[in-house]
Structures are given as structure tokens and as C-alpha cells.
Structure 1
């Protein structure tokens, strides 16, 4: 059956150009226009209607109302759980309802005994989880051997004659429905006499030996690993990454300060932050000002160090930063490519058939004392040959050379002979594209 007009509208925010690298905006915009003309079909008369539910996207932060409405029968399949979300589904049950939860055995420990009694909770049988090794007893090596487990996220609910299925990426957890970017497809199902039990019969098979799942009646014992200082520091940095943050660049003379703000700072460890170079770290506060930085050290990436007693963990984190000058990229290139030799090495690197091989060759040349090139290298056949191959096979790769030339824009670094040669090949590349 054809979906209602506008049924594809919730798909469009997922493809917004603002969430995509600039070079793909044109393709995404074209797809958006085409999407407006699309009408999806289920091609099954039993599926009376459907809806798309993006989650965690601006304008689509609400949870699917039908999923969190009262129900008579419920089936949830989810590899990961949170106790709060399972409790929420428990409270939505009408009297004399059936509630079935299928999840990984490792997640069942998150539930209480009361929840275990309120739901029919199933996990994969251990011999199924252990896969082929468990069945055959063969001594398979780690490359060939892989455990089996639940990956699907599926919700089925019934309320008298109303039936809905939800399929997508959202686990049965608070994070999935109140923070993460997820997507669910809702299918409304109509068939006389249908019950959720029919789905369970198909899943479980006709008798127990065919059933890959087993009913869990008691909470499993969990071995709580000893928490090390490093674990505590890692956890603190992860908490910091989840906290709302922002940074702003402020110019002072020829240098810059960065003002960093965090909504909340973990208190159980000592935290410092610095630019990506790690130079001059300062104590992390709700509002932190970094010492003066040169233009080339500005970035959205920062080095955070968490310390407790004698243990320290360093990580690079990303903070949305405003006010970075447009000429910053140019400054970075100029700090790396400072002379003609370095520039020519970089060009050779870009034109190489194998970037890895090119890197190794240059390292070997420097080790043997042959890393310095003079201007006569420009006339070497190898440069001409590599540029010729690039024009014939991948002319778009010349754009990277053009970008570097524009960023450096210095005749002392970019030889005039090379510039003339590049212009010739650039014109040839345009003809190849036609």
C-alpha cells in the first residue's frame, strides 16, 4: 500500500546539507529534492500504514508516541538495555498483559528480580552464543572463530486490534531515546486474529530443541572486575566528552587565546587541558582560558590529561570552536612546508601511485643522505611521468596540488618552473574530463 502523502518528510532532516561535508552539499540537496517526490510502498495489504521516526535530530526530538502508549502485549528484542527504559515499558502494561524481552545474557544483570518476574526474559542459549566451536568442539583459531549474539532492535506491540512493529537502530535504553541519533521505521499491521504470540512461535520453533533461546528465571551472577586507576581516568574523560561544551578563539595582538566552557567537570580526578600540541596545559575549570597560542596551533582538537595519584591518561578530544581565522590552514601549511625541498617532496607524495611506498622511499632517501633535492630535479623525467599518469588516470588529484599552491602562495617555496609545468597539466586535465 502506498504511504500517505508527505510520509517521506521525516527522512529529509537526516539528509540535511548542514550535517554533511561542504563538498557533498550538491549531491545531498539533489537527493532531498528527489526524496520529496518519492512515495514508498509496502506491497503487502496487511501493512496498512507506516511512519519514519528520526530520533535525536533538531525538530525530531520527540519519541514515537505509539511505542510508549499503553499496550496489551509487547515484544522487545534489543542487544543492549537500560534498567530505566525496561521499567518504563513495564509501567505501560495493561492488566493481564504479556511482556517478552529478548536480549543478550550479559545485559540481564542490569535488571532487578522484580523485572525478571514482570517480563518473560530470554537470552540465546550458550551453545548458540558459542557458535560452531560449541557445537563441534573443534579447536578453531581466533580468526575463524566468532561468537554469535543478538544484534537486531525490534519492538512489537498490540492493543486489541491495533498492532505496530518498530524496526531500526534504537536499543531499549535511555541513551537511544533521549540523546543518540537513531532511526526507527514503524509498520502498522492489520490481520484478523493476529497475536504477538505468533511472532514468538516463529522465533522459538515448535519444540525446545529447535528454540535458540532459553527463558531466564534468575539473575545471573556477575563477576565485578576490579576498577583500576586507569579505568577511573578513562571514565572521567568519557564523561567529559558527553558534557555540553564549546570554545571561542579571541585574538590578542598577533596571537590568540581560547576560552573553553564545560557545563560540568568530573570531580573525582584532576583534569588539565591544552591545545593539541599539549604545550602549557592548564587546570580544567567550567570556564578555562588557554595561554596565548600562535595561529597554526588553533584547532577544534585539544589534549586532555586526567590524573589521580601517580596515574595519568591523555586523550585528544574535539570541542566545537568558533572564531578560528580562515587563514589558519595557510599558517599550518607554511609551518610544515617551509622550503622548496619540502614542497617538492610533498608533490611527489601526492602524485605517487602508493602513498605508503612514497613515504618509505622518502624516509630511505633521507636515511642515505639523499633527502635534499635541488631545482634541477624539476626537469627529472619522474616528475613529468607521474604528472602525466595523474592527468590520464585521476585528474581530480591535481586539485590537491592546486590547493597547496594557493595556501602557500610564495615564489620562494614554489619554483616558477614547477608552476608553469603545473598549469600545462592542469589545462590538459580539463580536456580529459570533457
Structure 2
């Protein structure tokens, strides 16, 4: 960090932050987020295990990369998200989303607020298995969604030492508590993963950013007195959401002056004039800054400001706090929300001042002065509708719903009926006029009216669907009674009778012809730590026409198989698993494996068996 700390021109790409550094490979990770969408969550394993891209859409264009990304991180990644805050769509969503069932864990805050931290705890191992593991923590203001709002992030790299570090206690506390916050049963491997990384992080020694002399982590919402910034001489606050009590608390931390508050106009419209007068300058994001270089953007779920920043000056030092907490009562005063922060301390001359960080030379150049009359506060009826919808989505996401699968051979091979099963006593949905539900893999055309069955505790028939579409993720659309306002979300439910061959059916839906099989094979044979080749393989580009057409007389393929055999790095084990799964009797449809490759593979299969690998 320099005097240009948080300069808007310094961009940190999400995918790049997740990718292993040169000479390392992804080994394990735990993430926390308030909300997520399936497409972004699907792209994450690709960034972790294969290659990064400039934007999510580039990754989503390659289904085989999404499939292999999910395969490579299986059992090694857990994402903890607020129950009921998974985004859904009216359209049919990818079958590959169901592979996230073993990754996403829905949780709730212990004090009935929001589960709101946004962090990544990652471990990377050397490709040659020599030397120390590399640890990484990301502290973000951004959720795991596709929004293009202005956010802040910090990436810290480090290594595990022999002694635990006191500064890591809040990080350890959050990670080790995550399994206990799950709204339903949590897999033992997810629990073990969270505890394992919690221990790693407890012993981590971090490389400090430039201009920083020390760092401190803090977590709120897990018990004890909520963390707040220390008293200071001057303070500046950036917070998209805010309320009177929290803003007054933060302003009072400054003995001399509260210099600047940057927020959103719809939020500032709800703040009293007396509270706003505590700040020397009140600003909002300039409309032109909501687009990069003034470009037009597609409609996003969230736009504008989403960064959370506190800059405090004291004597010759600056304390810069980043994280998930808005300037609200649940985040800073009552501690009902689970939040996570990191504070960096450094000399003002090196880390920067309020003026250089939030002024015209820094983030402030994206802002304009707030006009108190520019936007009216939300109507009371709208705020009431938001509360009704929030309580209803929490009731459904935490209310003990389950899914039951039943084979339907009379409907054709691979046909299954899904039932949505509420608890016997039903679920109370006060103020809700309509509830519609459908499996995310089928889309709105498969919707069923669910309000009466949910409230009466009666199972609801969701219809007959193909095996590859069976999923525990259900889309739920709620309509509020008084205003007619609607909300659409998804939640993952415990599933009874899930066919063991479901994942194979999903794989066969992607690898559905010989050309795709050969592209996938090429991706499997890409050397670990070679993201460029992995991206080429996923896109179907690169040398060796035989990859896409035939394996007969295909020297490039034979060479790659021999290299993988000599490397003994697990690539041929991955090919063996693929061959086994695609050869299972339950795998219906056209056989995508070329007969020539089956013959060739037997040679390498025998070599694997002699080396003690494989079946």
C-alpha cells in the first residue's frame, strides 16, 4: 500500500485472487458470503483449480471446465452462506449447479441477525510437494455474486509457523465456528475441512502490504462485546447501508472531526439531518462512476456502491479498516450480525490520510456531494413488505423442508418424481399471498403453487424429471400480500433417495459425444500448474487436430499419456476415474468413448495397476 491506498485504478480481479501462485496448486479452501449465485459459484472451482479469466462469462462458456473444476475441488472446498440468500432465476439453470450440493452450506447467525462475513481462507501446496504450504486469506466487501458494484478487497499471503499468532484469533474463531452455524446436517468432511483450515490460519504469519506496520482481525456476532473502531482524531466512513445510531457512534469516535461519509442516496434519505450534520462532507457515488469509463452495462442485481471502509487518523498513524460491516446497529452495536474486519495500521505518510484515501486524489474522485432532497425515503409499506418477505424466506430456508425422490420406471428409463415435504406441523407464512416452487434445473415452467401444502404440512408433488435434473436446490418465489412485492431465491434441502448414479448422469449430459470426450481428456492431461494450457483445452483450441477428431495415429495424445504416466502426478488416475464412470451400466445414451481410445487405454490401465494405482 502507498499514498494511493484504495485508488480506484488499482483493480483486484476476483479470479486472479483465487488462483494458485506459480509453482503451487490449490489444496483446500473455505469461503463465507452473505449471498451467492450459482453461476459465480460454478466459476470459482475453475479459478481455483484450472485457470482464471477476466470475467465470469468467459468461464461459463466452457461446460467441460466447469465440470472438471467441480471434480477437482470435490471434498476440498466449502462455501458457507446465509440460508435463503442463494439467488435463483426463472429460467432453467445448469445441471452442473447440482454438483455444488457438497460445497454450499447454508448457515444462520447465532443472534438471529444476518450471517454477513465475506472471506476466503485458502491453502496451496507446492507442485513438487517440497517446501512449505502457502496460506492465503481474502477479506472482502463483495458477496459471491455477479454484481459489478464498487467493492474493496485485500489479499494476504503467508505461511504456517510453529507458534499460534494472537492476531489470528478472530479468524480462527470464525472458521472453527462455521460448522455449528449450519441450519441442517453438515457433512463430516466439510466440518473437518473448516477445522483444519482454522488451525492453519491460527498459526499463519502474514506478509504485510506496503506502508503497513501491523494488522488486526476482528469478528462480531459470535459472542462478547462487538468490535468498534478505536477513538481517533479524525474519521472517514464509506458504507452503502447505514442507520442513525451506528453513524452517531462512529462520528463520536473522532475527537476533532468526522470528515466524510460516503453512502447511497436511498440510505441517506432515511438518516436524520442532525446525524448527517456530524460529518463535514456527505457524498454519494457519482452516477458516471457506476460504469467503467462511462460504458453501458447490462442490468445487474446490485449496482453502485458496496465497499465498506473506515479510515481513522490518530497522531502520526492511520488505521484503515476493511471488511463486511456496514455502519448499522446489527453490525457495530448490537452485534446481531456476524461480520469480519481487518485493520491495517501504518504511518499516515506511508499508508495515507483520510484526504488521500477518500478525497479527490483517491476514492473520493468517484463521488459527488449528496443533495438531501434528491431522493425520498422508502415508504413505510415498502419497508414492512421487505420485513415480511425476509421472515418468510428465513422460515422456509430454516424450516425443516426436505425433498423425496421416487423412481418412476413407468414414465421411462431415468425418470424420477420429486416431492417437497414440509414438517408435519407446517410452516407459518404470515403476510404472504403466494408461494411458487420448482427445481432450479427445470425453470419456472415447472412451477407449483406451494402455499397451502407448506402451511398445512402436506407433501407437494414437484413432478417427474430426468435423472440428470434431480437436485436438492429448489427455487422459491414469494409474493407479499399488502404490496404485491415478490422475491425469488433458492435453498438447498436435505434429499431422501438421491440416486447414486445422479452425478454420472450429469457428467454424461456434458460429455455427450466423442468430440467433447476428447476435449475433456485433453483437459485432464493438462499439466498441473499450467493454466494457459488448461484454458486452451477447455476452449477446444491448441495443436493436435487428433484431439478433436480421432485417436487413430494420434501422436500428440499418446505423447501426453506417456508424459502423464512418467510424471506420476495423478493425471492418469483422473482419466481412469472418468473411464470408470462413463462405463458404468447406468450410463445411458450414446457411448462418447472412441473404441480406439478404449484399446489404447488398456495399455495405460495395466501400467497403473502395476504401479498400485487405479481400481
TM-score (normalised: structure 1):
0.58
Q: 1:422 to 1:87 in 2, by over 3 A?
A: same
Pair 1:8 & 2:155 matched = no
Pair 1:170 & 2:325 matched = yes
Q: In the alignment, what sits opposite 2:83? A: none
The whole-number CA distance in structure 2 between the counterparts of 1:427 and 1:84 is 71
Q: What secondary structure does 1:328 align onto?
A: coil
| Equivalent of residue 78 in structure 1, options 229, 232, 238 | 238
Pair 1:53 & 2:53 matched = no
The whole-number CA distance in structure 1 between the counterparts of 2:487 and 2:370 is 43
Structure 2 unmatched ranges of 5 or more? 1-160, 298-302, 409-416, 523-536, 542-548, 565-570
Pair 1:283 & 2:438 matched = no
Contact 1:274 1:290 in 2 (8 A): no
The whole-number CA distance in structure 2 between the counterparts of 1:131 and 1:411 is 47
Contact 1:236 1:269 in 2 (8 A): no
The whole-number CA distance in structure 1 between the counterparts of 2:446 and 2:212 is 64
Could you tell me how far 1:247 is from its partner in structure 2? Answer: 2.4
Deviations 1:282-341 (A, max 9, x none): 3233556222766946422224345699x99895x432322433x52415756996xxxx
The whole-number CA distance in structure 2 between the counterparts of 1:41 and 1:51 is 13
| Equivalent of residue 351 in structure 1, options 508, 518, 525 | 518
Q: Report which of the two has the higher share of helix.
A: 1
Deviations 1:88-112 (A, max 9, x none): 626x838976334421453533422
Q: In the alignment, what sits opposite 2:227? A: 65
Pair 1:247 & 2:401 matched = yes
Q: In the alignment, what sits opposite 1:408? A: 586
Q: In the alignment, what sits opposite 1:319? A: 491
Q: What secondary structure does 1:402 align onto?
A: helix
Q: What secondary structure does 2:166 align onto?
A: coil
Contact 1:249 1:259 in 2 (8 A): yes
Could you tell me how far 1:273 is from its partner in structure 2? Answer: 1.9
Q: 1:110 to 1:313 in 2, by over 3 A?
A: closer
Deviations 1:135-160 (A, max 9, x none): xxxxx7649xxxx9866533245899
Pair 1:183 & 2:340 matched = yes
Could you tell me how far 1:413 is from its partner in structure 2? Answer: 7.2
Could you tell me how far 1:185 is from its partner in structure 2? Answer: 1.4
Which range is displaced more, 96-105 or 27-36? 27-36
The whole-number CA distance in structure 2 between the counterparts of 1:416 and 1:288 is 49
Contact 1:298 1:324 in 2 (8 A): no
The whole-number CA distance in structure 1 between the counterparts of 2:385 and 2:501 is 36
Q: In the alignment, what sits opposite 1:108? A: 268
| Equivalent of residue 561 in structure 2, options 364, 371, 391 | 391
Could you tell me how far 1:388 is from its partner in structure 2? Answer: 4.0
Q: In the alignment, what sits opposite 1:272? A: 436
| Equivalent of residue 353 in structure 2, options 189, 199, 202 | 199
Q: What secondary structure does 1:291 align onto?
A: strand
Could you tell me how far 1:13 is from its partner in structure 2? Answer: 5.4
Pair 1:38 & 2:204 matched = yes
Could you tell me how far 1:382 is from its partner in structure 2? Answer: 3.7
Could you tell me how far 1:31 is from its partner in structure 2? Answer: 5.7
Deviations 1:267-286 (A, max 9, x none): 35422223444647132335
Larger radius of gyration: 1
Q: 1:40 to 1:63 in 2, by over 3 A?
A: farther
Pair 1:304 & 2:476 matched = yes
Contact 2:321 2:343 in 1 (8 A): yes
Q: What secondary structure does 2:583 align onto?
A: helix
Q: Kindly indicate whether structure 1 or structure 2 has the higher relative contact order, using CA contacts under 8 Å at least 6 residues apart.
A: 2
Q: What secondary structure does 2:372 align onto?
A: coil
Query: How many residues are matched?
Result: 375
Contact 2:286 2:368 in 1 (8 A): no
Which range is displaced more, 389-398 or 164-173? 389-398
Q: 1:312 to 1:79 in 2, by over 3 A?
A: closer
Q: 1:300 to 1:129 in 2, by over 3 A?
A: same
RMSD of the alignment, in Å?
6.2
Q: 1:269 to 1:62 in 2, by over 3 A?
A: farther
The whole-number CA distance in structure 1 between the counterparts of 2:187 and 2:323 is 25
Deviations 1:327-362 (A, max 9, x none): 52415756996xxxx99844542322666769xxxx
Contact 1:349 1:355 in 2 (8 A): no
The whole-number CA distance in structure 1 between the counterparts of 2:552 and 2:190 is 31
Q: How does 1:202-241 map to 2 (within 5 A)?
A: 202=356, 212=365, 216=369, 219-222=372-375, 241=393
Q: In the alignment, what sits opposite 2:529? A: none
Q: 1:125 to 1:50 in 2, by over 3 A?
A: closer
Q: In the alignment, what sits opposite 1:93? A: 252
Structure 1 unmatched ranges of 5 or more? 134-139, 227-231, 359-379
The whole-number CA distance in structure 2 between the counterparts of 1:398 and 1:14 is 39
Contact 1:233 1:269 in 2 (8 A): no
Q: 1:237 to 1:427 in 2, by over 3 A?
A: farther
Q: What secondary structure does 2:517 align onto?
A: helix
